[in-house]
Amino acid sequence: MSEVIRVKQLTKDFGDFRAVNDLSFTVGQGQVYGFLGQNGAGKSTTIRMLLTLIEPTAGEIEIFGMNLRKHRREILRQTGAIIEKPDLYKYLTAKENLRIFSRLSGAKVTEQQIMDQLALVGLAGRSDSKVKTYSQGMKQRLGLAAALIHNPGLIILDEPTNGLDPQGIADMRNLILHLSHDLGKTLLVSSHLLSEMEMIADHMIIIHKGRKVVEGIVDELLNPEKSMVELVTADLPGTLNLLQQTTWAAMLKEPVNGTLRLEMNKAAIPEFNRDLVEQGIAVQSLRPMNTLEDYFLSLTKA
């Protein structure tokens, strides 16, 4: 699989504050790549660097195999994006908005292509309505149509479900899956709705305080055959020392925020618990983390 995005040691400083810290990741062609992190983790700052809205302090960005600084225009011609809420001309119709965005992109787009794009996002029936009459969900969908009007290979969405009701969220989810699975688009999607990301992303990265915490295939990271088990005890150093002398040592991961983590088959958890009790370890908490929310929170605790 060819790489669409390659980020290497990306860093961004705002005065004395380091928003993004030595960040590296890759996005393969055709992937829905989830970009996760708590508020202030550096997600939007990274996305703005990918779109050349702000300059990195250090590091390299390659998109479509080209250096972003040297080939900015070529790359952006092949990229579509929504950053938070889309900027639209609210006193113009949906069709008029898409005509303007197509001219701005430099693409030659026919009226039929505009209607096809509106049909793709479910707005063909409201093509002649002014945007000021649209709901927030409809505006989000029109923003996505504007981002797609020049047929980009890469689509970057920053919190695309912000302000949407449950039906709007479901519609956006289905549209993202359609763009990836049926049209072969590559999508980088930043979101705080972890349950949604679990349903649409096939690869993901979690960042915390500007740094990468984990990156990988979602199914592998959340595979119940390789459950991440969180252990909290009254004596972390003593427990760690004891476990390192047992067969459980091979399953140990780096401690995170005062908890021990082990990767094991879910079926082994009862045996592990028995061993802890027999060794006299005062277990305060022992739980498997099989959802993206569990996994995310375990890695991003302050």
CATH code, domain carrying 12: 3.40.50.300
The last residue of a domain, from among 150, 184, 217 = 217
Question: Do 200 and 267 share a domain, yes or no?
Answer: no
Res 4: pLDDT: 96
Q: What is the CATH number of the domain that holds 263?
A: 3.30.70.980
Whether the pLDDT of residue 271 is over 70: the answer is: yes
Which residue type does 129 have?
S
Res 291: pLDDT: 63
Question: Do 100 and 236 share a domain, yes or no?
Answer: no
The last residue of a domain, from among 161, 191, 217 = 217
CA distance 85 to 210: 23
Question: Do 194 and 67 share a domain, yes or no?
Answer: yes
Which of the residue ranges 163-172, 220-229, 249-258 would you say has the lowest mean pLDDT? 220-229
Asked whether the beta carbons of 47 and 158 are under 8 A apart, the reply is: yes
Question: Do 109 and 192 share a domain, yes or no?
Answer: yes
Res 224: pLDDT: 58
Whether the pLDDT of residue 301 is over 70: the answer is: no
Whether the pLDDT of residue 221 is over 90: the answer is: no
Mean pLDDT over 158-162 rounds to 85
Whether the pLDDT of residue 302 is over 90: the answer is: no
| Contacts with 32 (C-beta within 8 Å, 6 or more apart), sequence order | 176, 177, 180, 187, 189, 200, 201, 202, 203
The last residue of a domain, from among 154, 188, 217 = 217
Question: Do 120 and 250 share a domain, yes or no?
Answer: no
Res 218: pLDDT: 81
The crossing angle, in degrees rounded to 10, of helices 94-105 and 136-148 is 30
Domain with 141, as residue range(s), is 3-217
Question: Do 21 and 152 share a domain, yes or no?
Answer: yes
Res 167: pLDDT: 83
Res 10: pLDDT: 97
Question: Do 213 and 242 share a domain, yes or no?
Answer: no
267: left (phi over 0), alpha (psi -120 to 50) or beta: alpha
CA distance 53 to 46: 10
**Rounded to two decimals, what is the model's pTM?**
0.77
Mean pLDDT over 51-63 rounds to 96
Q: pLDDT tens digits for 92-113? A: 999 999 999 998 888 888 999 9
pLDDT, greater one: 134 or 192: 134
Whether the pLDDT of residue 129 is over 70: the answer is: yes
Whether the pLDDT of residue 282 is over 90: the answer is: no
Banded model confidence at residue 192, pLDDT cuts 50, 70, 90: confident
Q: What element of type H or E holds 146?
A: helix 136-148
Res 76: pLDDT: 93
CA distance between the termini of the chain: 36
Structural domain count, the chain: 2
Looking at every residue in the chain, the average pLDDT score rounds to 88
Res 293: pLDDT: 66
